[in-house]
Structure 1
Amino acid sequence: MTLTDDTCYTALQARDARFDGVFFTGVKSTGIYCRPVCPARTPAAKSCAFYPTASAAEAAGFRPCLRCRPELAPGCRGTSLAEAVLTRLQERAVEGTRLGDLEADLGLSSRQVQRILGSEFGVTPVQVIQTQRLLLAKQLLQETGQPVSEIALASGFRSLRNFNALFQERYQLAPSACRRKGSPVSEGLRLRLAYRAPLAWTALMDYFRSRLVPGVEEICGVEYRRTVTLGKATGWLRVWPHEKEAVLLVEVSPSLMRHLGAVQNRVRRMFDLDARPDAIGSVLGADPLLAAVITQFPGLRVGGAWDTFELAVRAVLGQQITVAAATTLSGRLAARIGNEMETPFPQLHRHAITAEAMQALTVEDLCHMGLVRARAETLKHLAQFALEGGLEFPPGLDHESAVAKLVELPGIGPWTAHYIAMRALRFPDAFPAADLGLRKAIGEGILIPTKQAELRSLDWRPWRAYAAAALWKSLTP
């Protein structure tokens, strides 16, 4: 949908949650910008200016609303180069990455990034970085009891003085003025991550439950838990849905305080929180083959991964064997190369596997754990590929190009590459057509050829990854 001022104002009047995070409203009479779902009285149309991003609203001189809290708005992942660059820049901003260090990550020069963001969104890279860091800081000030100095560092700032000055300049407030008086402080750090309702949480938990790595992950009731390693920092997190609001609650161990930006980004990707259920449902729900599942599980998401290498290893282990057998092998690997650690949860006591640890094993070591030699050799190639940065893809790359790069690795075929593309790299149109379950589901009980499945999947573009999730779900009693 093309967003015009009239379309945005209509959505604002209706407080339409489908547009949350898709645009922001600057109110000229107050100098404040809001989400479309803001509970405040709707301003007159002549008082409104509409912006595609929070950074564009702030660049125009507006301050974030203290009621609807723009920092909680879900993201909006697009497929264009400009949208991909913006998303990557927003993610790296809160991880503390300097603009000058981003050229290799983005695959673009700073001048190209400047031109792309300016022409598409009317903002500079510096404005995007500053806005994302300030919004995360504002969120932490309101939701945690951590010292301002720690919050500044956790939000990506390298200087408390610069943080205080920029916060005062943009928001006309001292950071401490954002504190919520009397708010309880939990033992860990708790964040709220918004999404566009609905969210099929039970279906997501079914996906993760069948693939839990013993010692690394567990599900307790509606709560997902796992151990975490980010650089030299280690800790744990737990995630569960709010009972009444369209947010996930994420509690993180204090040891990860300075990595909250990275935690936030990874959790959003893992649980597919930036999905557009309305757009996905309108395409998939119109197909008789998928309609029943889409109706039964509204807001169906594509379960992702905490780490791309973890998911890639899992995909290789799952080649030509059952989910249960691949889970057993994952557990053996974690027990062998995942270092022990302590957490408040008895079932979480081990780090996840890493490319460095995998590379230290020999092919014979892997074979002794129950892997066939071909699979063991593939894992060794995959670990080397990851250590060389092969799993870091530049923004704007389409999924066909990513798949083509992955299948160049020995032992990685189209099924494995598409599976990695949809679950770890978050390409919404990736589709592992060779999968036996998908071929059977499309054939309504008859195993059809891969080419026929591929042709049938074209009806579901650009949401074929979600169609795959629905088809796999249809096979579950």
Structure 2
Amino acid sequence: MKIVSGTPTDELELMFIPPFDWTRMLRFFSGRATGGVETVHDNVYYRTLDIAGATGLLSVRCDPQRHVLIVRIDGEASRRLETLTPRLSRLFDLHTEPEAVRAGLSQDPWLSSLLDTAPGLRVPGTWSGFELVVRTIVGQQVSVKAATTIVGRLVERAGTAVGVPSHPQTPWRFPTPRALAEVDLDKIGMPSKRVATLQNFARVVAEGELDIDNDEPDAETLRKQLLDLPGIGPWTVEYVAMRAWRDPDAWPATDLVLMQAITRRLPELSRKSDQLKHSQGWRPWRAYVAMHMWNEIADQMGMAKGG
């Protein structure tokens, strides 16, 4: 623990197995950053934290010479840094062994070429499963950019302003489940049914009926519980399983971008059922297949695409 200008701060190094595509990881996060809460600037990921009432600013950068991420927390939350290693490892997918993914997928010529293009691609995680579900509900039937805008409005309407330390682009803490369940979301930019879905989910989490951020998630049980909630479908559940519960085989089969990508490459697989059957050959790494397909489109279009 150090004190810098009167503010407690601490740093931690997290190792990873190369290759690790930090640039594409940050591109994914940047395109989906929660306005006011997280941002990417100068190849560094930032976000505000609230850990059991202790607040702070998280920053993460990749060491250009060594296979480590350098994590720094400024503020009272820095006193909890050592306890955050599992969460940070999930956030940046640090436990992945790239050669295991390659060994499982390289027999498919298409996937082999995608792996060659981005050999260090990971599945970006999330700081909070609750935040991710909120994001996916908001993002139903709208673009990535539109979802980012609306989530930023939610933060300003139901979140809490932070003091120092903070990054200029992260002056807010994300709303608590209770705050989001009870806030007035009139004219927030979402259809009323989607608002109802969002606030019902927030209420269920606030009341302890759904432990969305368990450090040792039972993905199958959580899938069923989440799918049982009104307004939440299979795409949302699989996307959350990919990023929050770290299921390497999660497969958002109804994702339009994925379906179109598969059809372009394999025209005989135009039906969802045929695509799902074909995807069985990609197990148990289908989450990485999804990321590589999304990444290919993003590379082609120069923008965040998919998810």
Q: Partner residue of 1:79?
A: none
Q: 1:259: which partner in 2? A: 80
Amino acid at match of 1:409: L
1:374 matches 2:193: yes
Contact 1:314 1:330 survives alignment (8 Å): yes
1:351 is matched with 173
Task: For 2:18, give the aligned amino acid.
Answer: A
Pairs within 5 Å for 1:178-197: 188-197=9-18
Matches within 5 A, 1:15-54: none
8 A contact 2:137–2:236 mirrored in 1: yes
Range with bigger deviation, 436-445 or 324-333: 436-445
Is the Cα contact below 8 Å between 1:418 and 1:431 reproduced in 2? yes
1:70 aligns to what?
none
Secondary structure of 1:237's partner? strand
8 Å Cα contact 1:403/1:421 also seen in 2: yes
Q: Which runs of 5+ in 1 are unaligned?
A: 1-143, 147-185
Following the alignment from structure 2 to structure 1, what is the Cα–Cα distance between the partners of residues 222 and 160? 31
2:304 maps to none
2-side partners of 1:382 and 1:436: how far apart? 24
**1:24-71 deviations in Å (ceiling 9; x for gaps):** xxxxxxxxxxxxxxxxxxxxxxxxxxxxxxxxxxxxxxxxxxxxxxxx
- Greater Rg over alpha carbons, structure: 1
Q: Shift of the alpha carbon at 1:401? A: 4.0
Deviation at 1:263, TM superposition (A): 2.6
Q: Greater relative contact order (Cα 8 A, min sep 6): structure 1 or 2?
A: 2
Q: Which of these residues, 417, 435, 440, is aligned with residue 237 of structure 2?
A: 417
Is the CA contact (8 Å cut-off) linking 1:188 and 1:253 kept in structure 2?
A: yes
Closer/same/farther in 2, CA of residues 263 and 389 from structure 1, 3 Å limit? farther
1:288 aligns with 2:109: yes
* Match for residue 279 of structure 1 among 75, 100, 110: 100
Q: State the alpha-carbon separation in 2 of the partners of residues 223 and 209 from structure 1.
A: 10
- 2:252 matched residue in structure 1: 432
1:433–1:439: 8 Å Cα contact kept in structure 2? yes
Alignment-mate amino acid for residue 264 of structure 2: E
Counterparts of 1:257 and 1:392, CA distance in 2: 21
CA distances 1:243-292 after superposition (whole Å, capped 9, x unpaired)? 11110000111411332134322211111111111101111233222222
- Give ranges in structure 2 of 5+ residues lacking alignment: 301-307
1:301 aligns with 2:143: no
Percent of paired sites with the same residue: 37
Which residue pairs with 1:216 in the alignment?
37
- Name the count of aligned residue pairs: 291
- Which residue number corresponds to residue 271 of structure 2? 449
**C-alpha displacement at 1:424, in angstroms?**
0.9
Aligned counterpart in structure 2 of residue 310 of structure 1, from 124, 128, 131: 131
How far apart, in 2, do the equivalents of 1:233 and 1:396 lie? 24
Shift of 1:379: 0.7
The one of 286, 294, 300 aligned to 1:464: 286
Contact 1:198/1:298, CA 8 A, preserved across alignment: yes
How far apart are residue 145 of structure 1 and its match?
Answer: 5.0
With the length of structure 2 as denominator, give the TM-score of the two structures.
0.89
- Structure 1: which 4+ aligned runs deviate by more than 4 Å? 392-396
If the length of structure 1 is used for normalisation, what is the TM-score? Answer: 0.58
Cα drift, residue 436 of structure 1? 0.2
Q: CA RMSD in A?
A: 2.0
Query: Matches of residues 154-193 of structure 1 in structure 2 within 5 Å?
Result: 188-193=9-14
Instruction: Check conservation: 2:17, 2:98, Cα contact below 8 A.
Output: yes
Aligned pair in 2 of structure 1 residues 267, 395: CA closer, same or farther (>3 Å)? closer
Q: Distance in 1 between matches of 2:226 and 2:272?
A: 19
Specify the SS of the correspondent of 1:325: helix
Structure number with higher strand proportion: 2
How far off is 1:378 after superposition?
Answer: 0.7
**DSSP 3-state at the match of 1:275:** coil
Is contact 2:159-2:174 (8 Å) kept?
A: yes
Find the aligned partners of 2:91 and 2:21 in 1 and give their Cα distance. 14
